Amino acid sequence: MNNYKIAVIGGDGIGPEVVAEGLKVLNAAASKYNFTLETTDFDFGGERYLKTGEVLSDEEVEQLRQFDAIYLGGIGHPDVKPGILEKGILLKLRFDLDQYINLRPVRLYENVTTPLKGKTPQDIDYVVIRENTGGLYTGIGEFQKKGTPDEVAIQSMVYSRKQVERCVRFAFDLIKKRHAASPWKGLSPEEKEKGFVGKLTLCGKTNVLTYAYDLWDRTFNEVAADYPEILTDYCHVDAICIYMIESPQRFDGIVTGNMFGDIITDLAAVTQGGMGVAPSGNINPSGVSMFEPVHGTAPSFTGKNVINPIAAILTAQMMLNHLGEKEATENIETATRKVIKKMKSMLVGEMGYTTTEIGDMITEQLKS
């Protein structure tokens, strides 16, 4: 019987509440599908920082390396200056554990309201592969003449060829796996005829960022040669914002750098019904990966049992998938779909059920 060691970081605000629901579902899956979960809680976050001044030490990161995966609720506290916890905990973990992929599936489930008029679940079903350890997020930059009228601030978008290539390769491999059983529905008959099975779109800004995205563009096209069965496309980041709204059905996978990936996945989350349903995984394919919902800590809803746990539950499901529990993964997905159909809305306060009720319903569904 497989036993998985999971580090649990509930974090701040509603983080611990949604993580509790995810764990409820995971534990039900464990007893049904014959694996065990050994969870260890870590109190990293704003509360601890305010009490002790500790953010996250190198020793603590080392401790986390001993786990099979990390399950995180949310980090951020209204009483802590922006940047301290984000950089000190979340980004430090992504960087130190070399979680170089931020995987964000975008899927509109049945019965979920999208603000995109006329769009159905068939139209919104793609995955964003966001590079997660480079770009503007490296923190490289400086102030010059700080505090004077002549002040200059520089923040560099830094990418190495290796960084870009491993990300792009991951993306192509993922699209290939995604359609191992049957080709992507968005392909035209001619494209299927030619042997294409899926499509990957590079999102960049080659008309202005002529260093960083030139590197991305060249790497993307070179790597594409190893994947003749994947159709490729390119969109500037501004244009992609139009297409994600007007014609999301044109996307199967989007690969992009860290900053653009951050921005477009919030937009994508809205199209799939809001932050309450958007899961994500910070992946190191050969190390420890960390799974966290895209949403933040929603401090004003803390402790009210009103927040939507679906994103955290789908995040837990992604974690199980990553660990290799395919059957359990599929069944959590089915159970979640069924419960989503019963919910009145994905929005806080309009769900028709409390946070814990939704976790219970999915658990019951899973057991049946």
CB-wise, 290 or 366, nearer to ligand IPM? 290
262 interacts with Mn ion by CB under 5 A: yes
Q: Which residue has the tokens 């159709």?
A: 231
CB-wise, 257 or 273, nearer to ligand IPM? 257
Tokens coding 310:
């679906």
CB-wise, 183 or 296, nearer to ligand IPM? 296
Q: Which residue has the tokens 């959590």?
A: 332
CB-wise, 311 or 323, nearer to Mn ion? 311
Least distance to ligand IPM from the beta carbon of 174, Å?
19
CB-wise, 68 or 262, nearer to ligand IPM? 262
292 interacts with Mn ion by CB under 5 A: no
90 binds, among Mn ion, ligand IPM, none (CB under 5 to 8 A by kind): ligand IPM
Residues 6+ apart with CB under 8 A from 30: 36, 37, 328
Q: What mask, x for binding Mn ion by CB under 5 A, covers residues 297 to 326?
A: ------------------------------
CB-wise, 197 or 319, nearer to ligand IPM? 319
CB-wise, 84 or 224, nearer to ligand IPM? 84
Cβ-count burial of 124 within 10 angstroms (0-12 exposed, 13-18 middle, 19+ buried)?
Answer: buried
Least distance to ligand IPM from the beta carbon of 313, Å?
18
The helix/strand/coil state of 73 is strand
Binding region for ligand IPM (CB under 6 A) = 86, 90-91, 262
Least distance to ligand IPM from the beta carbon of 225, Å?
31
C-alpha torsion angle, residues 337, 117, 267, 285 (rounded to 10): 40
Provide the residue type at 114 as one letter.
Answer: T
Least distance to ligand IPM from the beta carbon of 102, Å?
7
Give the residue nearest to Mn ion (CB): 262
123 interacts with Mn ion by CB under 5 A: no
Cβ-count burial of 217 within 10 angstroms (0-12 exposed, 13-18 middle, 19+ buried)?
Answer: middle
Provide the residue type at 124 as one letter.
Answer: I
> Which among 181, 285, 175 has a CA at the least distance from the CA of 231?
175
- What DSSP state is assigned to residue 90? I
**Cα distances (angstroms) measured from residue 274 to each of 31, 131, 293, 327:** 31, 22, 12, 27
Q: In sequence order, what DSSP letters do the residues of 322-339 get, joined into one string?
A: HHT-HHHHHHHHHHHHHH
86 binds, among ligand IPM, Mn ion, none (CB under 5 to 8 A by kind): ligand IPM
* Separation CA 17–CA 151 (nearest Å): 44
Least distance to ligand IPM from the beta carbon of 339, Å?
25
CB-wise, 278 or 361, nearer to ligand IPM? 278
The number of residues in the chain equals 368
Least distance to ligand IPM from the beta carbon of 74, Å?
9
Least distance to ligand IPM from the beta carbon of 15, Å?
12
In this chain, which stretch among 40-48, 142-150, 256-264, 360-368 interacts with Mn ion, using CB under 5 A? 256-264
Give the residue nearest to ligand IPM (CB): 86
Residue 237 in contact with residue 203, Cβ under 8 Å? Answer: yes
Least distance to Mn ion from the beta carbon of 268, Å?
11
Residue 319 in contact with residue 283, Cβ under 8 Å? Answer: no
* Separation CA 216–CA 328 (nearest Å): 36
Contacts with Mn ion, residue ranges (CB under 5 A): 262
